[in-house]
A and B are shown apart, each in its own frame.
Chain A
Amino acid sequence: MELLEFLIFDNLIYILAIVLGVILTVAYLTYFERKVIAFMHVRMGPNRVGPRGLLQPFADVLKLLTKEIIFPKNANKFLFLIAPIITLATAFAAWAVVPFADGMVLADINAGLVYVLAMTSLGVYGVIIAGWASNSKYALLGALRSAAQIVSYEIAMGFALVGVLVAAGSLNLSEIVRGQEGGLVHWYIWPLLPLFLIYYISGVAETNRAPFDVAEGESEIVAGFHVEYSGAAFALFFLGEYANMIIISALTALMFLGGWYSPFTGDSWIAQPSIFWFLGKTSIFLYAYFWLRASLPRYRYDQIMRLGWKVFIPITIVWIFVVAVMKVYHVGPWWN
């Protein structure tokens, strides 16, 4: 009973705030994505629904929700429906441990980093199950590609996180951020620069976004794993994918850019740590997602594998040693 009360009165409101916040952010992220890519294509992007097209996301949501969910013949209905739910649930669950500002975190657990890694990789089960349950060869191919890709990049991502773990000496995300206190130069991005790049690129690959979107690959396998999905089920996949993008961006900001800390030092208002610094840093990486998508063509499948296994993994292993040595000898402004 006490647990229930604790859950409802203390946490429900935070959970609602986070979920609603993420859903709204996703809605405007789709708008933002279309605008950014349109601008890079020298077009205008959506500008019809509402002033400057600002109501476009709601029009899209209404459209998707009013459409019929079509079940393919001979598809396994249960798996077919559970797949988008898995994708979405894991994407939302990962938000539980993200510290928005000092102390502003739903679950301040010590294994936060591992938890996040687990949640973001569990999401791939949604993709695989969707591909399997759709009873379609394109969907199955997409799922297979996605599985192989995630297995490859998970390792590089994990090693990059080991680097962060070594640097911070903690798995708790809040602790990791606190280790970066003290302005721009104290952020882990400098000693961990290669790991930072690899983490972000692996994150792009893990969320199946361009240029690593072979799981969808419109030009090759139509839409990959979600080719058979329509209406609300498709909307859930969409929501999950974008929620994952936000979480990867948020984690990159937390682990490498000092989360809620200001890049400036001193006593003025601009040097105060606040949630806005965190949100701002997250938006930079969200922008980078779209920037990359507008700039790069899709990787060929074998090149993705090559990049993951032959480039990223060796670099991360080497750099973990470098970080360890730096830490042992108390190098720089980070560990003295």
Chain B
Amino acid sequence: MTKIVRYLKSLTLNEIRKGLMLTQKYFFKRKFTVRYPEEKTPKSPRFRGLHALRRYPNGEERCIACKLCEAVCPAAAITIDSDVREDGSRRTTKYEIDLFKCIYCGFCEESCPVDSIVETDIHEYHFESMGKNVMTKEQLLAVGDMYEEQIAKTKQEDAKYR
């Protein structure tokens, strides 16, 4: 009996009508699409993007070549060589990050005792030829110089939660 009732009910196409009404309702809803290059989604201050090496306000680079970041990096993306500078301080002569190896875990930033290596919130970058995926010390410092304000601001915002 219930079988027959169900059969007759299915002939009214009621279920399909309900489904169609639902999709029709969504047709008129506000769209969620973010029109990317013009609109962007908000980013957390903890966003881990492109790396940068920072300097102190007096222009001295922060990095003291302790190599903690190199040691902690799970992807072995960081390569550091160090030497004694003329003034007797220990500095890096080579500081490279292979962005293809990097998994953007942020451990380098966490491990750094002087807040030198940081991850900025830049995520729109590309490489135009082979080998450009390895960021040199100069490039990293340049990124740091260019975005220092931004970096300082996000670190400040995040500081109270750490």
A42 to B33, CA, bound (A): 8
Is B19 interfacial (CB 8 A cutoff)?
Answer: yes
Tell which of B20, B26, B31 touches A292, judged by Cβ atoms closer than 8 Å. B20
Give the chain B neighbours of A292 by CB distance below 8 A.
20
Q: Which residues 35-72 in A have Cβ within 8 Å of B in the complex? A: 36, 39-44, 47
Residue of A nearest to B20 (CB): A295
Distance in angstroms from A258 CB to nearest chain B CB is 22
A43 to B23, CA, bound (A): 13
Is B35 interfacial (CB 8 A cutoff)?
Answer: yes
* Contact indicator B23/A44 (Cβ below 8 Å): no
Give the chain B neighbours of A47 by CB distance below 8 A.
35
Tell whether A291 pairs with B31 under 8 Å between CB atoms, given A197-B13, A296-B16: no
Mask, B1-33, CB within 8 Å of A = 1, is 000000000010100100110111011111111
Q: Which residues 312-326 in A have Cβ within 8 Å of B in the complex? A: 315
* Contact indicator B19/A42 (Cβ below 8 Å): no
Tell whether A294 pairs with B23 under 8 Å between CB atoms, given A39-B31, A43-B33: yes
Distance in angstroms from A15 CB to nearest chain B CB is 37
* Contact indicator B19/A40 (Cβ below 8 Å): no
Tell whether A43 pairs with B22 under 8 Å between CB atoms, given A36-B27, A197-B13, A296-B16: no
Residue of B nearest to A294 (CB): B23
Give the chain A neighbours of B19 by CB distance below 8 A.
295-296
Distance in angstroms from B28 CB to nearest chain A CB is 8
A42 to B23, CA, bound (A): 10
Give the chain B neighbours of A295 by CB distance below 8 A.
16, 19-20, 22-23
Give the chain A neighbours of B27 by CB distance below 8 A.
36, 39-40
Q: Which residues 125-147 in B have Cβ within 8 Å of A in the complex? A: none
Give the chain A neighbours of B29 by CB distance below 8 A.
42
Give the chain A neighbours of B23 by CB distance below 8 A.
40, 291, 294-295
* Contact indicator A44/B24 (Cβ below 8 Å): no
* Contact indicator B26/A41 (Cβ below 8 Å): yes
A41 to B11, CA, bound (A): 28
Give the chain B neighbours of A296 by CB distance below 8 A.
16, 19
A36 to B20, CA, bound (A): 13
Interface contact tally, CB-CB below 8 A: 36
A42, A296, A315 — which one has the most chain B CB atoms within 10 A of its CB? A42
Distance in angstroms from B158 CB to nearest chain A CB is 33
A36 to B24, CA, bound (A): 10
Distance in angstroms from A180 CB to nearest chain B CB is 24
* Contact indicator A40/B13 (Cβ below 8 Å): no
* Contact indicator A42/B16 (Cβ below 8 Å): no
Residue of B nearest to A39 (CB): B27
* Contact indicator A43/B16 (Cβ below 8 Å): no
* Contact indicator B35/A40 (Cβ below 8 Å): no
Residue of A nearest to B25 (CB): A40
Give the chain A neighbours of B30 by CB distance below 8 A.
42
A291 to B138, CA, bound (A): 56
* Contact indicator B35/A291 (Cβ below 8 Å): no
Distance in angstroms from B47 CB to nearest chain A CB is 25
* Contact indicator A44/B33 (Cβ below 8 Å): yes
A41 to B31, CA, bound (A): 8
Mask, A204-233, CB within 8 Å of B = 1, is 000000000000000000000000000000
Residue of A nearest to B21 (CB): A295
A73 to B24, CA, bound (A): 46
A294 to B16, CA, bound (A): 12
Give the chain A neighbours of B20 by CB distance below 8 A.
291-292, 295
Tell whether A43 pairs with B32 under 8 Å between CB atoms, given A294-B23, A295-B19: yes
* Contact indicator A44/B22 (Cβ below 8 Å): no
A291 to B31, CA, bound (A): 17
Residue of A nearest to B29 (CB): A42
Distance in angstroms from B7 CB to nearest chain A CB is 9
Distance in angstroms from A217 CB to nearest chain B CB is 20
Query: Given A40-B24, A42-B26, 14 other A-B contacts at CB below 8 A?
Result: A39-B26, A39-B28, A40-B26, A42-B32, A43-B31, A43-B33, A44-B31, A44-B33, A291-B23, A292-B20, A294-B23, A295-B20, A295-B23, A296-B19
| Pairs across A and B, CB under 8 Å, 25 listed | A36-B27, A39-B27, A39-B28, A39-B31, A40-B23, A40-B26, A40-B27, A42-B26, A42-B29, A42-B30, A42-B31, A42-B32, A43-B31, A44-B31, A44-B33, A44-B35, A47-B35, A291-B20, A291-B23, A291-B24, A295-B16, A295-B19, A295-B22, A296-B16, A315-B11
B residues whose Cβ falls under 8 Å from a Cβ of A: 11, 13, 16, 19-20, 22-24, 26-33, 35
**7 tightest CB-CB pairs across the interface, nearest first?**
A44-B33, A295-B23, A40-B23, A295-B19, A39-B27, A43-B33, A294-B23
